[in-house]
Structure 1
Amino acid sequence: MLPKFLDRLTPRVYPRTRLLTAALVWSAVGFLLTAKGLWISRQEPAHLFLVAIAAGLGMGLVKSRLVFDKVARKIILNIEKKPRPVCLGGLFSVRNWALILVMSFFGRTLGAISMNTSLKTGIYVMVGSGLALSSLLMWKAWKKPLPFPL
């Protein structure tokens, strides 16, 4: 148990708020990564720009369905199985927080290394669009009535 003074400072929220926060985080990160991908290739010739975006969106759809949807469903189940107010930091599991740190590290590394701009664009758009698409599951879970009374 936490010491009493730390327990009082813990931001406790209901499942609906945690679902909203998760949906906002995934949507915001998805849109920001996609925007970064578009921004870094703004100087590329139009045909390379469009190919990179189309490839990134196509792979993002696949990544969303095969990877991110499974993670989103696990997060939703994790949030819904804790009906009482719990710490907002418990929004994601320890494994999810570790995955977030690893993905952040890879994103920073990708931004720092020298590689083809169209390839970087495709990668940013793939991850960003995949996250944004899978965030729809969280938005749907947030919108539906809760299976338990508050």
Structure 2
Amino acid sequence: MPPHFLDRVTPRAYPGTRLLTAALAWSATGVFLSVKSVYLFREGSRGIVLAAVLVGLILGMVKGRFILDRIADRIILHIGAKPTRSCLGGLFSVRNWMLIAVMIIFGRTLSVLPIEAGIKTGLYVMVGSGLAYSSRLLWRAWKNSAAKTP
């Protein structure tokens, strides 16, 4: 039986590549959201926005440690459970892709709402710093997978 069309056009990647892609995605998103908060910083009162950044960093680290670290661990297990070469888009589970879509919609909605710049800044910093912090687990898993590759 000839291979299905999707089987032929699906980009396949090794686990190390999928781990690297996940680590890059989490790190880049975390940095992007944190940098975006700098632009919001210009719109609000300096004292309030600075406090929002500090609170956002603290809450982001806590969120990263207690929530996002568990998600990163599940992503690592998910990638490790796949065949050696599988779909690059399969680095996240369907549930994770749905969560990503919800977070994108939430972020877009937040950006257009008439909310104080300090609150927006704090939320962006919280999510961004949490993702960047928890990406360390993905980077570590990628490093370990690269060390195992001959």
TM-score (norm 2): 0.92
Deviations 1:3-47 (A, max 9, x none): 533211110000000000000000000000111112112243332
Counterpart Cα distance in 1 of 2:109 and 2:6: 35
Find runs of 4+ consecutive structure 1 residues off by over 3 angstroms.
145-150
Counterpart Cα distance in 2 of 1:4 and 1:147: 35
The 8 Å contact of residues 58 and 126 in structure 1, kept in 2 or not, is answered as yes
Q: Gaps spanning 5+ residues in structure 1: where? A: none
Quote the residue 1:59 is aligned against.
59
- When residues 149 and 50 of structure 1 are mapped into structure 2, their CA distance, relative to the original with a 3 A threshold, is closer
Deviations 1:114-135 (A, max 9, x none): 0110000000000000000000
The 8 Å contact of residues 45 and 118 in structure 2, kept in 1 or not, is answered as no
The 8 Å contact of residues 72 and 135 in structure 2, kept in 1 or not, is answered as yes
Counterpart Cα distance in 1 of 2:117 and 2:43: 9
Counterpart Cα distance in 2 of 1:113 and 1:139: 34
Quote the residue 1:4 is aligned against.
4
Residue 73 (1) aligns with residue 73 (2): yes
Quote the residue 1:108 is aligned against.
108
Greater displacement, 14-23 / 73-82: 73-82
The 8 Å contact of residues 38 and 125 in structure 1, kept in 2 or not, is answered as no
TM-score (norm 1): 0.92
Cα RMSD, aligned residues only:
1.9
Aligned residues: 149
Q: Gaps spanning 5+ residues in structure 2: where? A: none
Residue 90 (1) aligns with residue 90 (2): yes
Greater displacement, 27-36 / 45-54: 45-54
Counterpart Cα distance in 2 of 1:105 and 1:51: 26
Matched residues, percent identical? 54
Aligned residue identity for 2:33 = L
Residue 136 (1) aligns with residue 136 (2): yes
Quote the residue 2:44 is aligned against.
44
Quote the residue 1:29 is aligned against.
29
Aligned residue identity for 1:67 = I
Deviations 1:33-74 (A, max 9, x none): 111112112243332232111011001011101111010000
The 8 Å contact of residues 57 and 126 in structure 2, kept in 1 or not, is answered as yes
